[in-house]
Amino acid sequence: MPTSTREQAAIVTGVSRGLGAALARELLEQGFAVLGVGRTSNEGLAGDRYRFAQIDLAEAPSTDGLLTSAFEDVADRRPGSVCLLNNAATVEPVGLIGQLAAADIATAIATNLTAAVTLANLFCRVFADPEVPRRIVNISSGAADRALPGEAVYCVSKAGMEMLTLALAAEQTALTFRAITLRPGVIDTDMQAAIRSQQPEALPVVESFKALHRDGRLVPAETVAAKIVNRLVLGDVDSGRTYSYEDL
């Protein structure tokens, strides 16, 4: 992402743990000013260049009211570039369609998809200066185009996130704006542990996730975060494209 000599800024959702926390740490180590967004922060994230804005992303309609000021504070620092990483997600509810509670479905869609749309909407409104390089990285999953029995809600929300990327690329045509999707592969996080703990009746494909762990195929979050920052935040990218871990 081409920048001036001014400080670069990034906004990362879901910074309490896992990939979100690793992304925030990597960005801070590379000199970024970082705004973390979520219900809770991570105790390892601190310093003059780190700020945290608290919001339950399941309450997506509150995005404008709770986050506009924090986004504007980032803009007021006149960063040389700014990147939004839509990372927050929940794997719940797990279960077959017909066995889920409507409230759980709504909460998951709000957290995984509606929040990403409302955050992108706020980002485009606040960071509208075409002179400033701007980028949105939507963290998706291979589940976006592969139906996993027992994870229908997660699959649907990730598919919607990838369409968000395409819509942003179609609408935001300035040469200084890029919107991309990343399918980061299988990462060694609490989410993977939660998936492995499910019963086959709720998640018929659970054994495949256990095999990934058993065979040592999960990648540390810190490894993935470093590759994301260097390749997709700092590097040249094609707007509208979906990248995979192999592309990193």
Q: What is the pLDDT of residues 8-61, one digit of tens each?
A: 999 999 999 999 999 999 999 999 999 999 999 999 999 999 999 999 999 989
CA distances (Å), origin 123, targets 14, 112, 152, 229:
16, 17, 29, 19
**CA–CA separation, 186 vs 197, rounded Å?**
16
- Position 205 scores a pLDDT of 84
Can you give the residue ranges of every domain in the chain? Answer: 8-187+221-247
| Predicted TM-score (pTM) of this structure | 0.94
- Position 2 scores a pLDDT of 54
Q: Residues 8-187+221-247: name the CATH superfamily.
A: NAD(P)-binding Rossmann-like Domain (3.40.50.720)
Q: What is the pLDDT of residues 143-168, one digit of tens each?
A: 999 999 999 999 999 999 999 999 99
